[in-house]
Amino acid sequence: MLAPATAGPHTTGIVWPHSVIPLGCSALTVDLAALDGDVARAVVRGLAGRLTGAPPAGLLAVVPAIRTVTVHYDPTQTTIDALEHHIAAALDTVELILEPPRDPVIIPVCYGGEFGPDLEFVATTHHTTPEAIVAAHTAGRYTVAMLGFLPGFPYLDGLAASLHTPRRATPRLAVPAGSVGIGGASTGIYPCTSPGGWQLIGRTHRALFDPARMPPTLLQPGDVVQFVSIPTPQPGEALHRS
Amino acid sequence: MSLRVLQPGIQTTVQDLGRLATQHLGIPVGGAMDVQAHRVANLLVGNPLDAAALECAFGGLALEFIAPAVVALAGRDIRATLDGTPLPAWHACRIDAGRVLTLHAGCRTTIAIAGGIDVPMVLGSRSTSLRAAFGGWHGRALRKEDLLPVGTPGALAARMLHWLTAVDRHCGDWTVGPPQHPPYSEAATARIIPGPELARLTDASRAALFGDTFRITAESDRMGYRIAGPSLSLTSHADMVSSGVTAGTIQLPPGGAPIVLLADRQTTGGYPRLGDVIAVDLPLLAQLLPGDRVSFAAVSLDQAHALLRRREADLTTAARALALRFAPGADGTR
């Protein structure tokens, strides 16, 4: 997997094409739109790491996404020119390496039944059985592209095309915490109870977000996730939390 | 020190200025909807500007003070009483033990108390995150009979209380004027910096965005406001991937009705971004209620920065003036 090198900072001579877009008067978005896939994700992580590691004056937050890095700043402490200059210099030090595959973070999931009310629908959509859907979902290795939407919510890359399923026409008002779902070409886990339109295929007891834990999120961008099917608890038996 | 919640109001939460620095984990910023009202209310009672205060939507809040306190209310169209006697907003008021403060009506009222609301700091902030149910007071809005801890007032706040007691006044004669008091209205004009997908609006939609008036719908809360008006459409389908958003980001979901993101917004979003309301105009939005109106005007980034820097300098000046008036050795009179 491509990853940003930790060495440096030194100028690499590589030019990562980017544009800087104002996002209101206290934030800006560094757009790496010309990059794609693994390269974009690795450069995003590299730039976010450089900015967080050596923050310029007035920098308040760095928010990496799929192919953008959004920077929140205090305009009384810095100027957009100074930030743009700093960002360009930081990007110049980003170098990519091929990282050996990481050990996956295991997410135990009770598939189907009350925990995965849409598993049957997903199976019907793909003209197959719930068991085959579970087998395909657990066979995948998923990479955390970014965190967003909810605290600790991972945007996971790597869902097999045979599992892509449209979102529900009407979103649920309350998707329970720990629900594992499929929405279009993505799969993910709801860290807390929330409205949501994804097809729910199972549920995990692992806490994806715990404000008392450090770090508070189970997953970080770049982590690899593997889902493992575990038996559904007997009636009355709780799906207890870790 | 503590205060008892007799009536919790529609939705009252503990807020400070939020948690900006953990957005990369998907944690919403939260914090006061009206950052200016929050900071001015804290300023008036001698608190640090980022102290935790209460934020009450609409009204219906009644608080009983167990110990004497100095309190300031800030926001739009506030109607409050202290045991039936009208209490002025935008002033520091001394409240004796056992008395009851009632907020009858308001839009989004900050209630700052000298010493601040003393709830634990979670991930760098005392703000309540309602969606993820953490921070603030047990991660939730206040309920009847909650007993909220109030911190020990700092030196400045203590000298203010001493002065109010010594001169036997209930309310301080200090307040703020424009520009620290935003020009609230039920028909606000919000200035925006054009966003990346603004150019993709049809000519008619762009003219409507800047020429027409939008109404705040009932689908509006601390996360954001859905606004109703002319339906807006894009010339081409925008191929969007999730990217960072901020307070004031105006998104255009497929339905054609924009959403303005506010304090409890998600950290990232995947809808076309039409523009961002500038920081100095966010308080005007924060104080709009369903049925109120908003219109938009474009402004340059340089202008937005100039306005913001002036507001911050004015607030610093006001804070310094108050600190000087109540400096050790000064007698507190003007």
**pLDDT tens digits, A203-226:** 999 999 999 999 999 999 999 999
pLDDT, tens digit (0-9, with 9 covering 90-100), for B178-212: 778 999 999 999 999 999 999 999 999 999 999 99
Tell me, what's the pLDDT at B193?
A: 98
What 3 state SS string does A37-51 have? Answer: HHHHHHHHHHHHHHH
Of A59-63, A190-194, B2-6, B173-177, the one with minimum mean pLDDT is: B173-177
Among chain B, residues having any CB pair with chain A shorter than 8 Å are 20-28, 122-123, 129, 131-135, 193, 195-196, 241-249, 266-268, 273, 276-279, 301, 304-305, 308-309, 312
**Nearest chain B residue (CA) to A219:** B25
**Nearest chain B residue (CA) to A45:** B24
* Other Cβ atoms closer than 10 A to B164: 20
Of A9-13, A111-115, B278-282, B313-317, the one with minimum mean pLDDT is: A9-13
Ranges of H-type helices in chain B: 35-44, 155-166, 203-211, 282-286, 301-325
Query: Cβ(A62)–Cβ(A52) under 8 Å?
Result: yes
pLDDT, tens digit (0-9, with 9 covering 90-100), for A173-201: 899 999 999 998 889 999 999 888 899 99
Q: How confident is the model at residue A240 (pLDDT cuts 50, 70, 90)?
A: low
Of B131, B267, B301, the CB nearest to A148: B267
Identify all chain A residues contacting B35, using CB atoms and an 8 Å cutoff: none
Q: How confident is the model at residue B241 (pLDDT cuts 50, 70, 90)?
A: confident
Tell me, what's the pLDDT at B334?
A: 67
Question: For chain B, what is the mean pLDDT?
Answer: 95
Identify all chain A residues contacting B247, using CB atoms and an 8 Å cutoff: 24
Q: How confident is the model at residue A7 (pLDDT cuts 50, 70, 90)?
A: low
Q: How confident is the model at residue A242 (pLDDT cuts 50, 70, 90)?
A: very low
CB contacts < 8 A (A, B): 142
Identify all chain B residues contacting A152, using CB atoms and an 8 Å cutoff: 25-27
Q: How confident is the model at residue A237 (pLDDT cuts 50, 70, 90)?
A: low
Question: Are B242 and A151 a contacting pair at CB < 8 A?
Answer: no
CA torsion angle for A154, A158, A162, A168 (degrees, to 10)?
Answer: 20
Mutation for B interface: A19, A20, A21, A25, most B CBs within 10 A: A25
Question: For chain A, what is the mean pLDDT?
Answer: 92
Among chain A, residues having any CB pair with chain B shorter than 8 Å are 21-27, 29, 31, 48, 52, 60-70, 72, 75-76, 79-80, 146-153, 155, 191-192, 194, 209, 211-212, 215-217
Query: Shortest Cα distance from B221 to chain A (angstroms)?
Result: 15
The token pair at B255 is 């339905």
pLDDT, tens digit (0-9, with 9 covering 90-100), for A21-67: 999 999 999 999 889 888 999 999 999 999 999 999 999 999 999 99
What are the DSSP calls for B159-186, one per residue? Answer: HHHHHHHHTT-SB-S----TTTS----S
Identify all chain B residues contacting A211, using CB atoms and an 8 Å cutoff: 122-123, 132, 134-135
Q: Residue B229: CB partners within 8 Å, gap ≥ 6? A: B208, B212, B213, B214, B215, B257
Distance, in Å, from the CA atom of A182 to the CA atom of A122, rounded to the nearest integer, reads: 9
Distance, in Å, from the CA atom of A4 to the CA atom of B168, rounded to the nearest integer, reads: 65
Question: Are B23 and A61 a contacting pair at CB < 8 A?
Answer: yes
Query: Cβ(A136)–Cβ(B13) under 8 Å?
Result: no
Question: Are B24 and A62 a contacting pair at CB < 8 A?
Answer: yes
Residue A236 has pLDDT above 80, yes or no: no
Cis peptide before A154 (omega within 30 of 0): no
Name the maximum alpha-carbon separation found in chain B.
Answer: 68
Secondary structure class of A132 (helix, strand, coil)? helix
pLDDT, tens digit (0-9, with 9 covering 90-100), for A85-96: 999 999 999 989
**Nearest chain B residue (CA) to A218:** B25
Identify all chain A residues contacting B308, using CB atoms and an 8 Å cutoff: 25-26, 75-76
pTM of the model: 0.94
pLDDT, tens digit (0-9, with 9 covering 90-100), for B271-328: 899 999 999 999 999 999 999 999 999 999 999 999 999 999 999 999 999 999 999 8
Question: Rounded mean pLDDT of A103-129?
Answer: 97
**Nearest chain B residue (CA) to A48:** B24
Q: What are phi and psi of B185, to 5 degrees?
A: -160, 155
What are the DSSP calls for B30-90, one per residue? Answer: ---SSHHHHHHHHHHTT--TT--EEEEESS-EEEEESS-EEEEEESSS-EEEETTEE--SS
Tell me, what's the pLDDT at B207?
A: 97
- Among candidate residues A190, A199, A183, the one with its CA nearest the CA of residue A112: A199
Tell me, what's the pLDDT at A8?
A: 62
The token pair at A163 is 């599992």
Tell me, what's the pLDDT at B202?
A: 96
Percentage, residues of chain B above pLDDT 70: 99
Percentage, residues of chain B above pLDDT 90: 89
Q: How confident is the model at residue A114 (pLDDT cuts 50, 70, 90)?
A: very high
Query: Cβ(B261)–Cβ(B247) under 8 Å?
Result: yes
Of B25, B122, B278, the CB nearest to A24: B278
